[in-house]
Structure 1
Amino acid sequence: MLTIENLHAEIDGKPILKGLSLSIGAGEIHAIMGPNGAGKSTLGYVLSGRPNYEVTEGSVTFDGQDLLALAPHERAAAGLFLGFQYPVEIPGVSNLQFLREALNAQRRARGEEPLSGGDFIKLARAQAAALGLDPEMLKRAVNVGFSGGEKKRAEMVQMGIIAPKLAILDETDSGLDIDALKAVGNGINTIMRQPDKAVLLITHYQRLLDYVQPDFVHVLAGGRIVRSGGPELALELEREGYREMAA
């Protein structure tokens, strides 16, 4: 589904990714761990097309397409979803309005009919209920006044509604208490653990992986993947840290 080959990227002239290669197949969940400054978030930003992150070398193929040739909205319509470490607030725009516009924009880009207001509300309420988010919160402005856990639940609802092929989740466990962590883990498993979908989890810690067991764990250090393994690698990192790998 996703193939990254020798990816080099920089921001403001500073090299961050320095020859990163990674392949993610359909039905797989991959976790990327590593020390601060290793390039984990940069990888997510580059894949999603965030401005000012310049690719200087390498290639990325997503579902048979040259991902780097697509604009950010085209990448989203193709099935890529980026979950933020710190979801932004959008005052004056309700969750329902935001999510309906986002979903129907993608449906139109794929040549599909937009959902009616009634059908969309049914979908949104079902996703909110499945993830333990009070449906009344869907009427509120996007993330305004939400706790950290509510923001992450709302983002999982967004992912469920959009139904991407590939979810890139950038430290989605950051700042969560145990109940919110379980809810987020349940959301990832329910929505994305499918034979035609895939997940790239970016995280510092093992704790999210207690609820979302990855097929592969990779260590990113110095701008490249320096080690890969199974779930047991995350436990080793939790015990021993990154010092030797980051050296």
Structure 2
Amino acid sequence: MVKILLINDDGIYSNGLRAAVKALSELGEVYVVAPLFQRSASGRAMTLHRPIRAKRFHIPGAKVAYGIDGTPTDCVVFSIARFGNFDLAVSGINLGENLSTEITVSGTASAAIEASTHGIPSIAISLEVEWKRTLGEGEGIDFSVASRFLGRIARAVLEKGLPKGVDMLNVNVPGDATPETEIAITRLARKRYCPTVEERIDPKGNPYYWIVGKLVRDFEPGTDSYALKVERKVSVTPVNIDMTAKVDFEELRNVLFGNT
């Protein structure tokens, strides 16, 4: 029987997670392991300084479901330790898009990246929503179209595998997508946000700081951001977790050490 691991950095109560269960349960046995609470933007953080606690949940369509008080990466490590290897790992359906090289900050993408380091073909999938709605559980949001695209892509990966050199797929679905929306194969944009720090003053006169980000609005054609934000297409970006630069090593050696 096909074993599918499902993670979601929005937490075990996320409606996006439940929509993903519904799509994936038609393809195999779904093992759900997700943080007990919202863990967006946690990247590949791993909990090493304290024990991890897990709570069993019942989620219709899932063979097993656990909520753990850890990060999305912890969820992957916990799952493999408890249940063995998987045929596919899916992270999502996330509230809010995950675009550009900043997917390394994303808990959604990082869970898929962690799974892929264990040799598991992985998919991270996110649905574009208004920023103010990204920190809830997805109340009132229609995940049906994103769920259909997930089922379609997951089935293809299970049946055919990923091409050589591709470890995971990062998928972003427009908020206004329909089942007929076109899919674009893209590369990662350079940047989606330009972060900075905003200083504020508390009632006692002490400064405190928020990290805030200004959205980049000019995107290069062929990137995930251009496909989603300009062309209104579903972006599918193949990702290789080997981040070694494709450069002639001898050229770099000459830059660093000269011709000696």
Alignment TM class, shorter chain as reference: 0.3 to 0.5
More helix by share: 1
TM-score normalized by the length of structure 1 = 0.34
Task: Compare relative contact order (CA 8 Å, sep 6+) and give the higher one, 1 or 2.
Answer: 1
Structure showing greater Rg: 2
